[in-house]
Structure 1
Amino acid sequence: MAGAMSLPPIPFVSNMSTPAPHWQPAACVFRLQTASVARTGTTVCAIPAISKARPVICFAIPKACTKKSFCGRGANRRTIHGWAPDWEERASIETFCDVLLRKKLRQGIDCWWVDGDGPRTFVNKAWVRSMGAAATKESDHWKLPLDQIKSFNQQHWSNFHYYRVSQDCTRKRAMLLTRWGGIGSHRYPAWFSGDTCSTWRTLQAQVKFSATAGNVLTNYWTHDLGGFFGKKLPTDLFVRWCQFGAFTPIMRTHSAQGVREPWAYGKKAERIFRTWARLKCFMRPFWYGLSFDAWNTALPIIRPMYLAYPRCKESYRYRYQYLIGGTVLVAPVVRKDSRARIWFPEGEWIAPQTGESVKGPRVKECRVPLERVPLYVKANAMLAIAPDIDRSTHVSGQVQIECFPGTGPGAASYTFYDDDGETLAYRRGKYCTINFGMCATEDAIEIAVCPARGRYANMPRRREIRIVVHAPAGRRISRAYLDGRTCGLHPVDRVCGELPSRFGSVMIRVANSGAARKVRFAFAG
């Protein structure tokens, strides 16, 4: 089951507001860049409807196709404005794929936004079953057990074609933004949670929903941050919604001609949005590694608390918090009064924003200022981040490992993952991993850096690894040793590239050139 899940391109930050007459995409992208949110490549999204009632695409019909294969209205017999295929007719689907999908993919479209009126169940025809059987033989990833089921819904069927054609045409990882087609949809990421109301209650529902979606392998759920309906939200609701989005695999705003540009909510809101959107971009390698883990092991990227702590009854009660991987705990604020009630499992949990250390098991109630998010990292955890956010692909020749030792002794391990970021070669083992191990004692923190394993196309021969240690409260790191020799120690004023450090944070540089390396950070006194 794990191998059936796809590994999408690098997660992104985007604004997909439904265009109003005055909306200017270029101006929006420029404003995001100048605000230092993210300098990313542009993802072009087409929105072909799957419903006969809501078509949105215009193009000419080839002469070889019959009129009955299509639906929609046009200015003349040869032009269809708002055409959608009949998903039960072979000629209609083949023409749709040839004339629209493949043509637009060659022009550079990266992502299809497949919007529609929801699934409709219909009975398979013989050619549909045979196509499913052929796809099964051609590629495990495209496999659909159509010969074993009596009916399936139109959404799943259309997603299958969009994904299949995109991947076949580009020979790269396909990416959709589509509606849910039922169990099995995990093969065709990503999905959006529909046209939602702009209320606190909706935000609460989305947090609970996201925490459990991975139970059926659907890791890449996205939400209309701020809700779909509603013009301009209360500032606190918009900010809280975007903070939650920064801790989901794909951060995306969208609305029905509403106001979702962060700078429209004032300078404070824009500054807060920028902080969390930038943190999202800095943490790309961490999210990307979790994507690989999900593909390789079927463990969700976002995990409900009970998945890690099934024997604790509290893990089933606290539904507005979740784990990212197994080491980062997030409890998005979902109440207008900014109150949060957080359950901490056994162990020590460290707040990157404040330096606070909380020892579980315990429950903490607090009021959270608008600029903060209840975010905690498990003691002795290690996270990979990008040294900068100027790239939208992968970290190339540099990676930064952030280490959060606890107040007492402990040990942990971490695996950094990287590949070419675009192709399907990772399925054939064309990727690279670097293992790290950390052991914290009363006197020092020791970190082992293993040689890189594996290769992929255009992989850098040498990779600079920046190891950042955030010393626990009351401790100061005075010296560092690399392979037994004293090395340069550099102070760091940021946590994960973006948050002001409240720790005694220091950094050293290590070249990963094929040999194991040992690093030792000695505490003062």
Structure 2
Amino acid sequence: MKKGISGYFLVVFLCLSFSVFPQNPDRLFVASESKPGSVEIRVNDGKYVLKYYTPEIIETSFIPEGEEYDETSHAVVLDPQEVPFEYQENPEAITLDSDGIDVVVSKTPFQVTYYYKGEKIISENRGYSEENDLQKIDFNLNETEVLYGGGARALGMNRRGNRLQLYNRAHYGYGSKSELLNYTLPVVLSSEKYALHFDNAPIGFLDLDSNFENTLTYETISGRKTYQLVVGKTWENLVFNYTLLTGRQPMPPRWALGNFSSRFGYHSQEEVLNTVQKFQEEEIPVDAVILDLFWFGKEIMGTMGNLAFDRDSFPEPDKMIYDLRKKGVKTVLVTEPFILTTSNRWEEAVAEDILAKDSLQKPFTYDFYFGNTGLIDIFDPKAREWFWNIYEELSEMGVAGWWGDLGEPEVHPEELLHFTGTANEVHNIYGHYWAKTIFEGYKEKFPEQRPFILMRAGAAGSQRYGLIPWSGDVSRSWGGLKAQPEISLQMGLQGLAYMHSDLGGFAGDNLNDDLYVRWLQYGVFQPIYRPHAQEAVPSEPVFRAAHVKELAKKAIELRYRLLPYNYTMAFRNSVEGQPLMRPLFFEEPENFKLYSVSNEYLWGDSFLVSPVVKPNTSEKEIYFPGSSNWFDFYDGKKYTGGSTAVVQLKDGSIPTFVRGGAFVPMSKPLQTTEEFSAENVEIHYFYDEEAGETKGLLYHDDGKTPEAYEKGDYELLNFRGKNENGALTIIITKELGSMRKVSDFSAIDLFIHNPGSKPASIEINGRVMKTGSTQTELIIKVPLHQKTTTISINN
């Protein structure tokens, strides 16, 4: 036995389970069998199949009597590993004992219970059942669990007490609360550090104890009765395991971390070029311009599905794209999956048979906001090929990225039939397969280019196709801003680390300068920096009042200065699944007060951020996690970890703090990410005599090659700082990938903040160096000719 879950301990576990939690009295045990890699348990109404993926991930499927087991998963990409486990059966129970998750299946009454490290994690209640035309799997909760998940919603961080509809649907103009948004997920995470992923595509509900009976229930109209239980010793470990199961986000192109010029929308080639020119005249950094639906039609109504440049408004798109690219600005086009019957491509779409069908196998047409339409059947291979061919042609023209809008799909009649099922069976995975189509097309046709795929809807695991989601048509309101950190924090826990918002808010003609500035300041510390809105009130800072423009410029310039830090976060997300925005309970998992906090969060490992989400406020109370001390990023003031303080708000920034002992890679000022190179990099170390030994990382590659890390075309700078007996030692170690023969880093500027006093001496690899210093920082030019460089600073 791995942990001895047998004999006396098994009896205790079972007695506790029976005395506290309900079971299914109608499900009767018949027989069980241990097979290579799995265990099969037959009951009177079907069978259970349990199999390990890793010691910390186990899958359970219930196959009702008369049904065939469907092995197809749209979410899971991990192959089950060989996980040793000990199988035992006695008259009372069956046990699976591993180095990670253990399972106890009691026979009478029948119940499945999971343990980890000797502690009970969760148990099935009735397990599988059917009621009111819904198929259900339910579980027992303890009374104190906090629950997260269900996708993108604005309900407060703790989502327990809600019955969440699993149906991707736009919510136009939402504010501080939205029960249903564009991107739903059948995933639940618990403050007990486990996750349940219900591995099924059709629509349904996720009931997080709405009846207050300590019960969690997954409800669906049809499909698989399969779930994976994922556990972890820490929150980082839990998210690592979940993204190991469902896939991790590939590195985006470096330019995707810059500033976007975007609105609904640019009407002409002239308007696009003039807007970009305005950015460059004002010296406000910008890396991409997004063209909304006017690129293919002069009117909002009746033109969707043209999917080709309107040559009246955009007479020379090739030249426009080329000219923008010479200025370091990429072109991104919106596309939708709807082909209107009035569009130029309607007859082609019908002739090529790429549209979803009605019951007579004719194109299903219906009315929605933009006109009478058909829907591309993204599940039909010939439709995918037809759609991809359009992307390929425009990509060859020079288009650098894609915006997939309305991909819930926004209107999706349940009578409509797809190649692989009904609308309700595949609705929630439409965006997933749309992103997959573009991602795999790039992999085949443009293997040297990282795709940029901005989409409003997807499914569990869509991150592995490079899908970058945003939070939909949020209102231009303080309530709309207030909801954004929660939405991004929740989605980061669920594997979608690039969830972000239309900065400034999208819906409504609300010209509120303070709201706009605070939203753009928040945007510095959210995954994608993309102001976007209805055009009556400009979303671009270059068209705002002078004082607003100046504050926006300051925020955007900071965003660019943080490019190496943000890019390193993107790297860690791609290899570890770690969110870019992280809840405070990552720092203090035992502090239950933090499990409901979204108005403060961590930006990577080093920053503590608290957005300003209320008008007319001059101060804000900040909690500083006890794991370290924190320094005001702008004035250097020190705050003790574990304390709470009231800080005064400033017009030019939101409250931002850096962890004591942190290494923060930054860049010299840039106008576009095209200007970035290793020579731009600065390393900022935030000295704290109480920090002890700390570490940091810089990831560097060319910013565009897919799978550069996997191919060995990268380098890492590892930093280690240690303060001991009044001396600070910093060690920088270079690690080159197998394809790199020469490092891009020959020297680097090291900034030491809060040094306290002028040092008596500074040595680099034993050689005494001269340096510049002020009261607040020490600046050292560090040569990096060796694999390991040691900087010794003696006071």
Shorter-chain TM-score above 0.5: yes
Give the direction of change, closer, same or farther, for the CA distance of 1:521–1:198 in structure 2 (3 Å limit).
same
Distance 1:191 1:104, change over 3 A: same
1:243 maps to 521
Counterpart Cα distance in 1 of 2:397 and 2:738: 31
> Which structure has the highest helix share of the two?
1
Q: Does 1:69 align with 2:368?
A: no
Unaligned runs of 5+ in 1: 73-80, 129-148, 493-502
Q: Is the 8 A contact 1:449 1:518 kept in 2?
A: yes
Q: CA deviation at 1:334?
A: 0.7
**Candidates 253, 261, 265, aligned match of 1:19:** 265
Q: Is the deviation greater in 111-120 or in 187-196?
A: 111-120
Q: Structure 1 residues 459 and 220 mapped into 2: Cα distance closer, same or farther (>3 Å)?
A: farther
Q: Which stretch has the larger CA shift, 376-385 or 270-279?
A: 270-279
TM-superposed deviation, 1:280: 0.8
User: In the TM superposition, what is the alpha-carbon distance from 1:123 to its structure 2 partner?
Assistant: 6.9
Query: Could you tell me how far apart the structure 2 residues matched to 1:285 and 1:350 are?
Result: 20
Q: Deviation of residue 297 (structure 1)?
A: 1.2
Distance in 2, matches of 1:288 and 1:440, equals 28
Q: Kindly state the Cα deviation for residue 191 of structure 1 after the two structures are TM-superposed.
A: 1.1
Percentage identity across aligned positions? 22
Instruction: Write the letter of the residue equivalent to 2:479.
Output: R
Conservation of the 8 A alpha-carbon contact between 1:110 and 1:175: yes
Is 1:227 aligned with 2:505? yes
**Structure 1 residue corresponding to 2:621, chosen from 341, 344, 365:** 341
Unpaired segments ≥5 residues, structure 2: 1-242, 288-327, 357-362, 364-371
Deviations 1:149-190 (A, max 9, x none): 988532222121122213322112211111121222222321
Aligned to 1:453: 736
**Counterpart of 2:643?**
362
**Deviation of 1:245 (Å):** 0.6
Alpha-carbon offset, residue 283 of structure 1: 1.0
For 2:667 and 2:648, the matched residues in 1 are separated by 31
Match of 2:793 among 511, 521, 525: 521
Q: Report matched runs for 1:12-161 at 5 Å.
A: 12-19=258-265, 21=267, 24-38=271-285, 40=287, 41-52=328-339, 66=351, 68-69=353-354, 85-98=376-389, 100-116=390-406, 118-119=408-409, 120=412, 125=419, 153-161=429-437
Aligned counterparts of 1:54 and 1:483: Cα–Cα separation in 2: 72
1:54 and 1:482 mapped to 2: Cα distance? Answer: 71
Residue 309 of structure 1 aligns with an amino acid whose one-letter code is E
Residue 407 (structure 1) shift: 4.5
Letter paired with 1:303: R
- The verdict on how the C-alpha distance between 1:163 and 1:437 changes in structure 2, with shifts beyond 3 A counting, is same
CA distance in 2, matches of 1:228, 1:218: 21
- Which deviates the most, 395-404 or 412-421? 395-404
Is contact 2:339-2:345 (8 Å) kept?
no
SS in structure 1 at match of 2:786: coil
Q: Distance in 2 between matches of 1:238 and 1:301?
A: 23
- Residue in 2 aligned with 1:419? 701
By how many angstroms is 1:376 displaced? 0.4
1:496 match: none
Cα distance in 2 for partners of 1:487, 1:165 equals 53
- 1:369-388 matched pairs, under 5 angstroms: 369-388=650-669
Per-residue deviation, 1:461: 5.1
* Bigger shift: residues 460-469 or 298-307: 460-469
Letter in 2 for 1:381: A
2:435–2:467 CA contact under 8 A, matched in 1: no
TM-score (normalised: structure 2): 0.56
Higher radius of gyration, 1 or 2: 2
Aligned length, in residue pairs: 480
For residues 28 and 469 of structure 1, the distance between their equivalents in structure 2, rounded to whole angstroms, comes to 39
Task: Measure how far apart 1:466 and its partner are.
Answer: 1.4
Q: Distance in 2 between matches of 1:405 and 1:320?
A: 27
Range 15-24 or range 1-10, more displaced: 15-24
How far, CA to CA, are the matches of 2:437 and 2:751 in structure 1?
A: 45
Range moving further from structure 2, 326-335 or 429-438: 429-438
Tell me the equivalent position of 2:781: 509
Query: Under a length normalisation based on structure 1, what TM-score does the superposition of the two structures give?
Result: 0.83
CA distance in 1, matches of 2:778, 2:652: 25
- Relative to 1, partners in 2 of residues 1:351 and 1:366: Cα closer, same or farther, differing over 3 Å? closer
Q: Which residue is 2:253 aligned to?
A: 9
Distance in 1 (CA, whole Å) between partners of 2:747 and 2:546 is: 37
State the AA in 2 paired with 1:469. I
2 CA distance for matches of 1:461 and 1:198? 44
| Structure 1 segment 467-506 matched on structure 2, within 5 A | 467-472=750-755, 474-477=756-759, 479-491=761-773, 504-506=776-778
Note if contact 1:195-1:228 (Cα within 8 Å) is conserved in structure 2: yes
Give the SS at the match of 1:475. Answer: coil
On the 8 A contact 2:457/2:469 being kept in 1, the answer is yes
